[in-house]
Amino acid sequence: MARHSRLCVVAALAIVALSGCGARPGAAGDTSPRLTATTTTTSATSTSPTSPTSPTSEAPLPSSATGGESSPPAQENRCTAGMLAGTVEPQNAAAGSRYVTLVVRNKSQQTCTLWGYGSLDLLDASKNVLPTQAERTLGPVPTLVRLRPGAAAGKILHWGVVATGDEPADGPCQPAASSINVIPPDETAPFEVDFEFGPVCDSGRIETSAYFPR
């Protein structure tokens, strides 16, 4: 009887222990499947290339104050002296100064281009070169001008008619010019144009613009 009583007590204790263990999920020996929520954090990383931090450089524009020119565009066929003829058209005169437009026309049978200011020299009646200071100070600044046969371009000229410095005040400030040698941009040979506007004072100082379409 005593042995039977001990067996009953042991069996009862085992039943209680097993029921207690089965009440806790996740205990050892529990093989039932469970879902686990997992949160994934993704950090956004920019893969776009970064721009260099070097300062931005810009091609300088021509300055009408300094007469500077930017790099010329490619020209298929520059206008040469032999392709051009010219005239000088008077504009409204201001007190003590004169304004004219030098007009050049393509007399050839080919299309040619002008870009820039070119140059000029004042000539007297005997075709001697007079003091001339051509200064690139007037607008417009250079632009490519394409001249078809018979087409024209213009260039503004401005000068003073009042004696300056040691020039005589009671007579002509300089010898009178009767024509000008006009040298197209990027060329060396001139062509002659009539210029019947008298002396150019201040030692032949003439302000000029670049050529522009007409």
Does residue 189 lie within any of the structural domains?
yes
Domain coverage including residue 209: 84-213
Instruction: Write the CA distances from 214 to 8, 37, 47, integer angstroms.
Output: 126, 81, 54
Report pLDDT digits (tens) over 176-194.
999 999 999 999 999 999 9
Does residue 171 lie within any of the structural domains?
yes
* Tokens 């004219």 sit on residue: 100
Q: Quick one: which H or E segment has residue 10?
A: helix 2-21
Does residue 77 lie within any of the structural domains?
no
pLDDT tens for the chain, 214 residues: list them. Answer: 444 444 444 444 444 444 444 444 444 444 444 433 333 333 333 333 333 333 333 333 333 333 344 567 777 799 999 999 999 999 977 789 999 999 999 999 999 999 999 999 999 999 999 999 999 999 999 999 999 999 999 999 999 999 999 999 888 999 999 999 999 999 999 999 999 999 999 999 999 999 999 9
The CATH number linked to 160 is 2.60.40
Residues 6+ apart with CB under 8 A from 92: 99
Which structure tokens are listed for 4?
Answer: 């039977």
